[in-house]
Structure 1
Amino acid sequence: MKIDVFSDIVCPWCFIGTERLARALDSLGMASTARVEHHAFMLRSDTPRTGNNLHEELRAKYGVDPQAMFERVESAARESGISLELSRQPLTYPTQWAHTLLRHAGPKGTQKALARALFGAYFLEGRNIADPVELRRLAIAHGFSDEEATRLLEDPREYELTQRESDEAHQRGIRGVPFFVFNERFAVSGAQPESVFREAIQRAVTG
């Protein structure tokens, strides 16, 4: 079983969707056998490294306090075992460096764990996931040497490859994330209930 996951680290529904997928795989006894591959899909690659205040942007766009919008996301997160409080993280950051590390974590076998760590650092701990110090810390905890992580984060060619991967996802017709492809046959869009993921997995297995 191969599952391709298209997501962005600053997307709360991506965090929820990947957790629901993990729970679905676990319930089917496939957590250790399914090959889950994360792919870059950058929602806003032009965000400055210092971050933008997403809460203020939403307030200016809709003219209301975004808390009601946040409560819906937080409620869905709690249903999936995530203690999400979006007030912990008012800023959104560019994610090209995080996605670059994720791409290189694949061959190391630490990609899934690193993705979860990045989501946790950003949403649960309120950390800046565009900060090289923070990124190196997370990378070292997931199979990278400090030298390797530093090289990847400072190499503009790596950013170009990551940008290309994100662009290719858009060119494939993916318009929103999270987006999941099962055995290159069935696709599920959005952070669907675990039952939907289980059904997709079973369909992909049986053909």
Structure 2
Amino acid sequence: MLIEIWSDIMCPFCYIGKHHFESALRSVDFANEIEVQYKSYQLNPEYHFIPGETVFSMLRKSKGMPEAQVHEMTAHVVEMAKHVGLTIDFQTNIPANTFLAHCLIHFAATQGKGTAMKEHLFEAHFVEGKNIEDVDTLVDLAVSVGFDASQAREALSDERYAYEVKQDLQEARQIGIRGVPFFLFDRKYAVSGAQPTAAFVEVLEKSFGEWKSKNPSIQHLNEQDGGASCGPDGCSI
């Protein structure tokens, strides 16, 4: 069963929600029958890195919030992250455009490392205070996940991955996604936000149960006493 997740690297609730969802997935006995596909979303596609800009000054300007409210809000997010075992450091966090980071995730996904790349980007952004709009930084992050530097640099300028990111963004608009994280289960059930693990377990069990009833596993009957057949090693007589 396919689960599609729209999220943005600069979204702390996407980071927290990812871990709530993964905790739920580990708790069910059908996890090996679930395919997870991460899709791109940009909270602020027009924003670009400004030297010296902090998340506090960015929020003051973009949200029109007083400084005290900004610090109160970010402190609440930090506490939410701690409950999941995550660290978010807004003191060192660098606001940045995430388009290239999404391109890197799409590239990594072609090698089966999309989830690992996404997690590494979250850590770089929220824990290590790295500028995830900077190409050299992104290449270094790709290398740390196991990619060749030249291969990663080429991917960041490859129109194929840029096109895939744009397709995700367009699909989000068509579906009507207005906030992330946004989880779509089997194109049937949607969950918005960093819901508790128990909520994800409930939707997982419901959606998978319905999907499984329409996609039953192949049952091998009388396998031990099967009739004559032929295979790669020849024919049974």
Aligned 8 A contact 1:108 1:143 in 2: no
Partner of 2:118, secondary structure, is: helix
Q: Distance in 1 between matches of 2:66 and 2:33?
A: 47
Instruction: Give the structure 2 partner of residue 34 of structure 1.
Output: 34
Bigger mean CA offset, 172-181 vs 102-111: 102-111
Instruction: Give the structure 1 partner of residue 195 of structure 2.
Output: 192
Instruction: Give the structure 1 partner of residue 95 of structure 2.
Output: 92
- 1:2-55 deviation digits (Å, cap 9, x = unpaired): 211100000000000001101111122455552211100011122224465331
Partner of 2:67, secondary structure, is: coil
- 1:82-104 deviation digits (Å, cap 9, x = unpaired): 12232231x31011111011112
- 1:77-134 deviation digits (Å, cap 9, x = unpaired): 1111112232231x31011111011112222111111111100010011111111111
Taking structure 2 as the reference length, the TM-score comes to 0.80
Aligned 8 A contact 2:107 2:161 in 1: no
Q: 1:2 to 1:158 in 2, by over 3 A?
A: closer
Taking structure 1 as the reference length, the TM-score comes to 0.91
Instruction: Give the structure 2 partner of residue 3 of structure 1.
Output: 3
Instruction: Give the structure 1 partner of residue 16 of structure 2.
Output: 16
Q: Distance in 2 between matches of 1:151 and 1:168?
A: 26
Pick one of 108, 117, 136 that aligns with 1:114: 117
For 2:109, give the aligned amino acid.
G
Deviation at 1:155, TM superposition (A): 3.6
Q: Which has the larger radius of gyration?
A: 2
Bigger mean CA offset, 139-148 vs 62-71: 139-148
Structure 1 segment 168-183 matched on structure 2, within 5 A: 168-183=171-186
Aligned 8 A contact 1:117 1:138 in 2: yes
Instruction: Give the structure 2 partner of residue 58 of structure 1.
Output: 59
Partner of 1:88, secondary structure, is: coil
Structure 1 unmatched runs, 5+: none
Q: 1:81 to 1:43 in 2, by over 3 A?
A: same
Q: 1:127 to 1:30 in 2, by over 3 A?
A: farther
Question: Higher relative CO (CA 8 A, sep ≥ 6), structure 1 or 2?
Answer: 1
Aligned 8 A contact 1:110 1:143 in 2: no
For 2:98, give the aligned amino acid.
T
Partner of 2:190, secondary structure, is: strand
Bigger mean CA offset, 114-123 vs 54-63: 54-63
Bigger mean CA offset, 95-104 vs 27-36: 27-36
Partner of 2:184, secondary structure, is: strand
Identity %: 33
Instruction: Give the structure 1 partner of residue 224 of structure 2.
Output: none
Partner of 1:141, secondary structure, is: helix
Q: Distance in 1 between matches of 2:109 and 2:76?
A: 32
Partner of 1:5, secondary structure, is: strand
Partner of 1:86, secondary structure, is: coil
Deviation at 1:161, TM superposition (A): 3.9
Bigger mean CA offset, 109-118 vs 42-51: 42-51
Partner of 2:38, secondary structure, is: strand
